[in-house]
Amino acid sequence: MNRDQRDQGDHGRRPLIGITSYQDDTAWSVWHQRASLVPQTYVDAVVRAGGTPVLLPPQPGGTEHLLDALDGLLLAGGQDIDPARYAADADPRTGPLHPARDDWESRLLHSALTRDLPVLGVCRGMQLLNVELGGTLRQHLPDGSHQKVPAQFVRQRVETVAGSRLAALLGPDAEVSCYHHQAVERLGAGLRATAHSADGTVEALELTGRTFALGVQWHPETDPDDPRLFHALITAGQHAATHRENRR
| Positions marked active-site | 123, 219, 221
Closest CA to 83 of 182, 178, 190: 182
Q: Could you report the per-residue pLDDT of 107-163, keeping only the tens digit for each?
A: 999 999 999 999 999 999 999 999 999 999 999 999 989 999 998 999 999 999 999
Task: Tell me: pLDDT of 6 over 60.
Answer: no
CB 16 within 8 A of CB 43: no
The Cα–Cα gap between 108 and 227 comes to 24
- Say what the pTM is: 0.93
How many domains does the chain fold into?
A: 1
Task: Tell me: pLDDT of 38 over 60.
Answer: yes
What CATH code is carried by the domain that includes residue 58?
3.40.50.880
Domain encompassing residue 231: 3-247
